[in-house]
Structure 1
Amino acid sequence: MSDTTWRLVTVNTAPERAKRLIGRVAEELKDRYTIIHVANADSIEQVEATVEEHKPNVLFCASMWSPEEAATIQETARSIVPDIKTHAIPQGLQVEKGPDAIVEYLKEEIPKLLG
């Protein structure tokens, strides 16, 4: 188990859903990672202020963002916290397959991202 506490910011236009899904993922991975959802930015414009305020070490872009938007979000986060780990959930995953698919996807991706 890692000693690192992962402070996560999500970028999602549905903040309650983001919090709920990350809560499920954090619970299922708690034997390996300590993940705390510290904040959500509900727009691209809020990313800078949210990252500045909370200084997370992880940021996830929700599946409603296009690859271009996700790249902008990630670049903004890295301009404030250069060593932040970022991940963009594939566009449309929530709409096409639902919240359980997001949880399963993140359970597979987080170990790759956090090591």
Structure 2
Amino acid sequence: MLLVLRRPGPPYETSPSHLAYLLGLTRGALSARLGPIEEAGLITRPHGTADRRRVRVRLTEAGHAAFAEHAASEDAGGTALLAALSAEEQRTLADLLQKLVVAAETARHATVPAPPGPKRSRSAEN
């Protein structure tokens, strides 16, 4: 969740519906997952100033720190694991993993519908 919020860059926020789309979750499932993360202080869900019905999901400073700590520990574990491979084997593994990621992303975008656009009122359609 934190990675997905960091991916687009500052201000590290998005709408709940877009976040649900990126994670392949329903909005209800996303809401259930956001609660504990918000309680831990890693995200906030502020309401829009112009329209109080609009909510954003925003990464907090504590969320940035938690992500950095997690990434560092994974990096250390990955480095230790990869030490069993030669430099050439590590390059081959990286190339194969990249190929798999690209194929998975391509397949995902082909099967997951686009996030819903803004709702239009009936009067706007007439």
TM over 0.5, yes or no?
A: no
Report the TM-score range of the alignment, normalised by the length of the smaller protein. under 0.3
Judging by fraction of residues, say which structure has more helix: 2
Normalised to the residue count of structure 2, the TM-score between the two structures is 0.24
Normalised to the residue count of structure 1, the TM-score between the two structures is 0.26
Judging by fraction of residues, say which structure has more strand: 1
